[in-house]
Amino acid sequence: MRRLTQVVILFVVVFAAAQLVRPDQTNPATDARRTIQAHVGTANGLAAVLDRSCGDCHSNATVWPWYTKVAPVSWLMAYTVAEGRRALNFSEWAAYSPDAQKALLALSCQDASEGRMPGPYTRLRPDTRLSAQDIETICAAARQTEANATAVPLR
């Protein structure tokens, strides 16, 4: 019994000490003119899908719920968001070349279609799950971007 008490006390002390190590959870400022919403518009529904299902990891508008303030979840979420923004940031869409935008939308379609995105995050935030219609919206935008890129202008 004494050993169990020591283990529990050690666990509580380590857990409490871990709360002192706080990762940065601030969102960078966003210029609305640089976002994907400003470039593709909102009529096709893509912006709504991306905001709901992709924005926490792939934009500068991350929502940080209470559980992301508790270590070690806070560390994991901060790392995941940093990696997500590094891979693709819809808030910085204008920074990508047209070819990169085309490739990123195609990859988004592929990842969504294969269930890789939004991944296990949906266990914590079920509202981020992509429906079949959501996936089709992403893929339709990717196809449209591809069609626009390959269209030959008439003179």
* Residue-by-residue DSSP string for 57-111: HHSS-----GGGGSTTHHHHHHHHHHHHHHH--GGGGGGS-HHHHHHHHHHHHHH
In a domain, 9, yes or no: no
Domain membership of residue 93 (yes or no) is: yes
Higher-scoring residue by pLDDT: 40, 84: 84
Confirm if 81 and 56 have CB atoms less than 8 A apart: yes
Is 98 within the bounds of a domain?
A: yes
Count up the domains in the chain and report the number: 1
Mapping DSSP to helix (H, G, I), strand (E, B) and coil, where does residue 31 land? coil
152 secondary structure, DSSP code: P
Q: What is the pLDDT of residues 43-64, one digit of tens each?
A: 789 999 999 999 999 999 999 9
Classify residue 71 by burial, with Cβ atoms within 10 Å: 0-12, 13-18, 19+.
middle
Tens of pLDDT, residue by residue over 73-125, are 999 999 999 999 999 999 999 999 999 999 999 999 999 999 998 888 788 88
Task: Answer yes or no: is 8 within a domain.
Answer: no
> Has residue 17 been placed in a domain?
no
Reported confidence tier of residue 155, pLDDT bands at 50, 70, 90: very low
Please provide the average confidence, as pLDDT, over all residues in the chain. 90
Q: Please report whether residue 116 resides in a domain.
A: yes
Q: Does residue 84 sit within a domain?
A: yes
Interval 118-133 mean pLDDT: 88
Task: Report yes or no on 22 lying in a domain.
Answer: no
Domain around 71: 32-150
